[in-house]
Amino acid sequence: MPAEPPAVIALRDLTKRYGRTVAIRDLSLDVRSGEIFGFLGLNGAGKTTTIRILLDLLRPTAGRASVLGRDCQADGLSVRAAIGYLPGEISLYQDLTGRRVLDLLARLSSTPVSADYQRQLLERFELSEVDLGRRLREYSTGMKRKLGIVQAFQADPALLILDEPTEGLDPLMQEAFYELLGEVRSRGRTVFMSSHVLSEVERVCGRIAVLRKGELAVVATVDEIRHRAPRRVDVLFVADVPPPSSFPTTAGLEVTAVNPRCWALRVRGPLGPLLARLGSLPVLDLKVEEPKLEDVVIDFYREGRS
């Protein structure tokens, strides 16, 4: 069995309090090298607080956060030398041009920014030199987001921390962004991203963590979480059949709608018991819909609210 890649991010019993308010409590989590890790939660769940502790913008009340084995607070400079960060709301001075922003932030990086790589990023996100010569006050939300992505990626850091990265991007630019994520992952970079877009998380992330009121509700691969949800199964019949009186008592099967020629069910686990029951009925077709990440994650959110 191959050894697990080393943890790029390690959180141990991380807690942050503001007076009596607990922003995050006893958060322990590992993000491994080369993975794209989704960090999910409702607004105020503690995602941004965690990210800001990783960047040493906030100091934890208790516990420890480390990146590449180095403590984020005690050894913050070397930690941040390995990070590219895209904030949820990128705040840059409106009187600066895009070019000046990129140059300023490149000069503040410890790793030299490759002009070639920066140009590739700009081309990928369709930011021309004319665009870069304009002041940010003339930029649309999407253009600012693209500039934010370029500044985060331009030094080609080992770890990318991205807070709602595709917010404000049009579908084509979202595609460009997903392609970029795939490329950086193939080069061994690690991505830690928070997102509200569950379809996006399902598409790009290998593992996710769901944060609920500052506490970790679940950490698992996207597949593991998806398979916690029941599959939706529609059974179509060639002739009218009586309602399935015995189904609700069968483990893992739940009837959600019944018509004479169609039953809608939710099935947890294997389909065998259902198929066995259907064997004596005039089945025309079976439609099995794979469970979605959204179904499970939204349940986690709801449990937290209740």
Partner 1 sequence: MNGILTLARHSVARSRVLLLVLTAVLAGFEILLVVAAQTLQESGTFGSFAALVPPFMRQVFGDSLIVFMSFAGVVCFGFFHPMVVAALAAFAIAVATEPVAEIESRFLDVVLARPIPRSTVIGRSALLMTLLSAGVVAAMVAATLVGLHALTPRTTAAPATRLILSLAANLWALLFSLGGLALAVGAASRRRSTAGGVVGVAALALFFVDYLARIWKPAASMVWLSPFHYYDAMTMVMGRPLPAGHVAVLAGSGLAGVVLAFVLFSRRDL
Enter the tokens of residue 252: 């893992």
Stretch that binds partner 1, among 39-47, 87-95, 202-210, 259-267 (CB under 8 A): 87-95
Is residue 81 at the binding interface for partner 1, with CB under 8 A as the rule?
Answer: yes
Site string for partner 1, 39-68 (x = CB under 8 A): -------------x--xxxxx---------
User: What's the closest the beta carbon of residue 178 comes to partner 1, in angstroms?
Assistant: 23
Residue 80 engages partner 1 in binding (rule: CB under 8 A)? yes
Enter the tokens of residue 116: 């070639």
Q: Which is nearer to partner 1, 83 or 193 (CB)?
A: 83
CB 206 within 8 A of CB 186: no
182 close to 35: Cβ distance less than 8 angstroms: no
Q: How many residues bind to partner 1 according to rule CB under 8 A?
A: 28
Alpha-carbon distance of 219 to 209, in angstroms, equals 4
20 binds partner 1 (CB under 8 A): no
User: At CA 84, angle to CA 170 and CA 151, rounded to 5?
Assistant: 55
Would you say 297 and 42 are in contact if contact means Cβ atoms under 8 Å apart? no
Which pair of structure tokens corresponds to residue 62? Answer: 């208790």
For partner 1, give the closer residue by CB, 77 or 257: 77
The reply to whether 69 sits near partner 1 by the rule CB under 8 A is no
Work out which of 39, 85, 192, 300 binds partner 1, going by CB under 8 A. Answer: 85
Can residue 104 be called a binding residue for partner 1 (CB under 8 A)? yes
Stretch that binds partner 1, among 64-72, 101-109, 130-138, 179-187 (CB under 8 A): 101-109
Angle at Cα 264 formed by Cα 258 and Cα 268, nearest 5°?
Answer: 130
Q: How far is the CB of 87 from partner 1 (least distance, A)?
A: 5
Nearer to partner 1, 23 or 210 (CB): 23
Residues in contact with 150: Cβ distance below 8 Å, sequence separation at least 6, in sequence order: 102, 118, 121, 122, 125, 127
- Give the residues across from 207 on adjacent strands: 37, 221
| Chain centre to alpha carbon of residue 261 | 40
Residues that bind partner 1 (CB under 8 A): 52, 55-59, 77-78, 80-81, 83, 85, 87, 89-93, 95-96, 104-105, 107-110, 151, 161
